[in-house]
Structure formats: structure tokens, C-alpha cells
Structure 1
Amino acid sequence: MALMKLEDGVELYYEDVGMGSPIIFIHGVWMSSRFFKKQLPYFRQKYRAISLDLRGHGQSTHSDSGHTVATYAKDLRQFIQKLDLRDVTLVGWSMGAFVIWEYIHQFGEEGLKGTVIVDELASDFKWPDFEIGAFDLPALTGMMQQIQTDQRGLLKGFLPLMFKDEVPDEELEWMLEETTKLPASIASAILFDQSIVDCRPYLNEISIPTLLCFGKEEKLIPIAAGEHLNKEIPHSKLEIFTNSCHCPFLEEPERFNKVVEEFVRSLS
């Protein structure tokens, strides 16, 4: 466990365990590195497994500014450079996928070996030509308003939607604790930005191998999102997790870890 200071003074909390080829786990909006608690102990046995809290999230600095996917990608760039990481596999869950795609769009693929995308759309917004988007404007503004008036209540309703099966109260409690670490100002700012990001124009620029991991239960993200990405991203493979919704790494951790390990091994 450590803190890394970026050029603008923001400190990123991260965990860095094991040795070997580096794998970086990047969480979703409002979440934290703690959600990968079932991955680091597994991957540290053969790889250098790293998870970080993006700015404003978890135990990283709750900075007043910089809460855009583009800035998070710049933070990731500094993070990789400061640790002098090479041949990196990036694992991005939900918003973490946008951070990866924005990173590749800004900085290219040098130093990257492959990417793993977990349950995300090319854009969360229902654009006129993208009907499978998660949010239309009324839904997005409604969520932003609720963050400002009842952030905890919103999360109590949202977190169970990430799972296929009912989650025990003690599990939901630590998730609620993590996701309420963000001030409402940060939570609404990054929700808006990540919801209107549209990565469709540059998905076909990705040339490194991509593993797409999607839960079959469609409470939040449809399987059609994975099929769309599989069609648009060259050298991609779609893996469906039948007993999962938005969090296959928590819902089916043994299978998820093995599938990702096989993918990473294939990159060597």
C-alpha cells in the first residue's frame, strides 16, 4: 500500500504486490481498488498485480478539479511512467474501460501488452444512433440531482443492481462505505463526464489484444454492448459470465481470474 504524488499534487493510493509482468486493475465510477480484493492475492503469485484509486475515489486525494475521464487517463499515464512499467496489461471495469480507451487515444499503445474490458459500453449515453446506451438525459440528470440530495440513498439502490444474486448485508456495507468516500460534488461531476464520453470513434484504433468480460444478467449493461465492442475492436474476444451481472470478478472470481490469466499468458 502506497501513495504516489502526481505533478499537480494529487496523491493516488495504490496497492502493488507480486513480481513479473504488470497487471493494473482500474475501478468504475464511485468505486475503488478495494473491489479487486479477490484478484490481487491470485495474480500476485505469478504477476505484478497493481490496483489504484483514481483521483477523488477511495483513499486518493479528493481534489476539487480534474474529474474527467481524460484527466484520469493522464493520471494513469503518470502512474505508469513513475513506476517505470512496461508490457502492461490494463484491466478496466465499467468507467475503467473508458479510462483505458482514452489512455490509448491520447498516448497510443506503447508499453501496453493487452487490455481487459469488464462490462462497459462504448458510451453510457443513449445517443440518437446508439440505442443500447445506459442513460438518457432525464435519467442522468435525475441521478445527479439525487447525488446532491441523498447520495447514500442512491447508492443503496444502485449497488444491488450490480449483482445477479442478492448480496449479503455485510458485503453491501463495505461497498457503501467505499462509495460514500467521494464528496457529492466529485460524485456528480465524474458521473456526468463518464456518462457522455463516446469512445466509438476510436475503438478501431486499438491493435493490441482485448478480452471482453461481460455478465449475462442485464440489470445495467446489455450483452449487446459486448457484442458491439467485439465487432468494433480488432483482435478482441468476448467472454460471457452466466452467473454474473456487472461484477464478474466478484460474482465468479475463480472463473474470472482463470480466464484473465489465460489471456495474459497468451500475450507472452
Structure 2
Amino acid sequence: MGYVTASDGVKLYYEEAGTGTPIVFVHEFGGDHRSWEPQMRFFARRYRCITFAARGYPPSDVPANVAAYSQARATADIADVITGLGLGKAHVIGLSMGGFATVHFGLDHADKALSLVIAGAGYGAEKQHESYFKGVSENVAKNFLEQGAKQFAEIYALGASRVQFQNKDPRGWREFADWLGQHDETGAANTMRGVQAQRPSLYDLEDRLRVMPVPSLVISGDEDDHCLQPALYMKRVIPACGLLILPKTGHTINLEEPATFNAALAEFFAMVEAGQWLPRDPRANPAQVMRTD
């Protein structure tokens, strides 16, 4: 464990385990560096695994000014962790907010990415829900500040795509909710206002995504409704991209279904490292239902 100093001076807390090819885990808004424990324990047997707390999430620094938080800054923080730890290139795995940052990392820092796992990424991306997402993001920020993290966590942790986790694994969900209740209110509010509410829609990135060369795996739960269409969209536009949909699963995929999640990542990494996770064969033309000549 230790700290990496980002290029703007903010200190980012990290923990690591294992040796070998690096994997960097990027957490969601409702989680923190601890959210990747099932993956840290599994992959540290064969990889050098790093999990870090985003700015605004103690033990990382919590800048008081919302201007220190943005999608671009969250993306740069991943690069700063990789550079600061001398990793060279890494497999980058992100969930939700971390998934969006992982997409942007592939666009802006492809030279530092061995592969991308983009999980549960889609909230606010659907064009018809953009204004609603911005409004509810502001409400979430206000609730953290006015109610406090401990009280509001009990509400936030019961979102429409969180109850699946509670139903399957009450102890795991309770731990998730308790950790959420320990978050810094200012950091949570600034993250929601500066990163979540202001990030560009994935659909506005199509031209760049179509030429992004990094091998990618998109994962979504089938009951994480606002991530399903964005997941299918990313499968269609990112050249070397696979898509995995987990049945009867919500948003907190890596905690809700850790065995399936880990197995999928292990196979993906093996294919990437063997040079076999390639762009889609051009003969697989979706305009052609059946070949006739």
C-alpha cells in the first residue's frame, strides 16, 4: 500500500498484491478500492494486481473544489497510477464510473493498455435519459451533503440494479452498504457533480471508438437496464470487442457474481496475451442474414 501523486498534485492511495503482468482495477461511484477484493485475491496468484481509491475517496485526497473532478481527470488518474508505479502497460478493469474512465483510458492512453474490461458502464449514456441523469446526479450529491453518507447509503444501496445483490448475497450487500456509508460526503458530491453528471455520452464517442485498437470486453448484468443498450452499442463499434451478459444480475457485477466474473476475465486475459482477441472478422457482416452466393 502507498500513494501515487497525480499530475495535478492529488495523492491517490493504492494497494497491490502479486507479481507478473499488471492489472489495474478502477472502482465505481458506490464502491472504493476495497470493492475489488474478490478479484485481488483471485488474480494476485498470477498477476500484479493494483486497486486504487479515486480522488475524493479516502485514503486518497479529497479536493474541496469540484473543478478538481472530471471525466478527463479520472482518466488521467489511471495513467498516473500506471506511470507512478512503473507498470508500463496494464490490463485495466473498470466498473460503472470506473468503466467509463476505462473507455476513455483506451481512447487517450492506448499505449498504456494491454486490454480493457468495461463493466456496468452506461448510466447517463442513453441520449433520451441525459437530462434525467444530470438531474438525479445533482440530487444524489445534495443527499450526500445534507443527510450524510451513513444515512444516505441505506437509500442509495437499494437502487433498482442493487437489490439483485442484496437478494443473492445479503452479507456481501451489507458490507457494500456499510463501506458506502463510510465515504466522504464532499468527495462523493464533487465526484457526482464533476465526473458523473458532466461526462460525455458514449454515443458521442462513436468515431473514436470505431478506431480504438485495444482488445476490449464489455460486461453487463441483464437486470442493469440502463447499461444493456450501451453495452450492445460498444460491442458493435469497438473493433476488438466481446460482450458478456450475466443473467439475473444487476450493477455490482464483480461482487454479485465473482466466480463468473473472474472466470470470464481469466479467459479474456489469456486470449489477449496469446494475441487471439482480434477485431471482428469482416466476413461476419450483420447485413447478411444467410449467404446465398
TM-score tier (shorter): 0.7 to 0.9
- 2:137 is equivalent to residue 140 of structure 1: yes
Give the 3 Å change call, closer, same or farther, for CA 117–133 of structure 1 in structure 2: farther
Query: Whole-Å Cα distance in 1 between the matches of residues 134 and 110 of structure 2?
Result: 33
Find the residue that maps to 2:219 and give its secondary structure: strand
Return the match for 2:228 from 216, 219, 223.
223
- 2:196 is equivalent to residue 194 of structure 1: yes
Q: 1:145 corresponds to which letter in structure 2?
A: K
Query: Residue 82 of structure 2 corresponds to which residue in structure 1?
Result: 80
State whether residues 70 and 198 of structure 2, in contact with CA within 8 Å, keep that contact through their aligned partners in structure 1.
Answer: no
Q: 1:18 corresponds to which letter in structure 2?
A: G
- 2:206 is equivalent to residue 185 of structure 1: no
State whether residues 203 and 232 of structure 1, in contact with CA within 8 Å, keep that contact through their aligned partners in structure 2.
Answer: yes
Structure 1 window deviating more from structure 2 (86-95 vs 190-199): it is: 190-199
TM-score (norm 2): 0.80
Shift of 1:68: 1.6
Q: 2:18 corresponds to which letter in structure 1?
A: G
Q: 1:160 corresponds to which letter in structure 2?
A: L
Q: 2:136 corresponds to which letter in structure 1?
A: A
Query: Residue 153 of structure 2 corresponds to which residue in structure 1?
Result: 155
Find the residue that maps to 2:266 and give its secondary structure: helix
Residue by residue, what CA displacement relative to the aligned partner does 1:50-100 show, whole Å, maximum 9, x if unpaired? 111111114212222422221122222121112111331100100012212
State whether residues 209 and 235 of structure 1, in contact with CA within 8 Å, keep that contact through their aligned partners in structure 2.
Answer: yes
Query: Residue 281 of structure 2 corresponds to which residue in structure 1?
Result: none
Query: Residue 27 of structure 2 corresponds to which residue in structure 1?
Result: 27
Deviating above 6 A after TM superposition, structure 1's stretches of 4 or more consecutive aligned residues are: none
Query: Residue 209 of structure 1 corresponds to which residue in structure 2?
Result: 215
Give the 3 Å change call, closer, same or farther, for CA 58–115 of structure 1 in structure 2: same
Give the 3 Å change call, closer, same or farther, for CA 242–132 of structure 1 in structure 2: farther
Shift of 1:227: 0.8
Query: Whole-Å Cα distance in 2 between the matches of residues 137 and 69 of structure 1?
Result: 14
Find the residue that maps to 2:166 and give its secondary structure: coil
Shift of 1:159: 1.4
Shift of 1:14: 1.1
| Unaligned residue ranges in structure 2 (runs of 5+) | 274-293
Give the 3 Å change call, closer, same or farther, for CA 186–258 of structure 1 in structure 2: same
State whether residues 166 and 172 of structure 2, in contact with CA within 8 Å, keep that contact through their aligned partners in structure 1.
Answer: no
Find the residue that maps to 2:158 and give its secondary structure: helix
Give the 3 Å change call, closer, same or farther, for CA 116–137 of structure 1 in structure 2: closer
Query: Whole-Å Cα distance in 2 between the matches of residues 54 and 143 of structure 1?
Result: 18
Query: Residue 37 of structure 1 corresponds to which residue in structure 2?
Result: 37
Give the 3 Å change call, closer, same or farther, for CA 13–138 of structure 1 in structure 2: closer
Query: Whole-Å Cα distance in 2 between the matches of residues 217 and 55 of structure 1?
Result: 29
Residue by residue, what CA displacement relative to the aligned partner does 1:82-124 show, whole Å, maximum 9, x if unpaired? 2111331100100012212233333x31131110011111x62
Give the 3 Å change call, closer, same or farther, for CA 190–139 of structure 1 in structure 2: same
Find the residue that maps to 2:99 and give its secondary structure: helix
Report the identity percentage.
21
Q: 2:89 corresponds to which letter in structure 1?
A: D
- 2:2 is equivalent to residue 5 of structure 1: no
Shift of 1:173: 4.4
Bigger-Rg structure (1/2): 2
Structure 1 window deviating more from structure 2 (258-267 vs 54-63): it is: 54-63
Give the 3 Å change call, closer, same or farther, for CA 42–139 of structure 1 in structure 2: same
- 2:243 is equivalent to residue 242 of structure 1: no
Shift of 1:169: 5.9
Q: How well do the aligned residues superpose, as a CA RMSD in angstroms?
A: 2.3
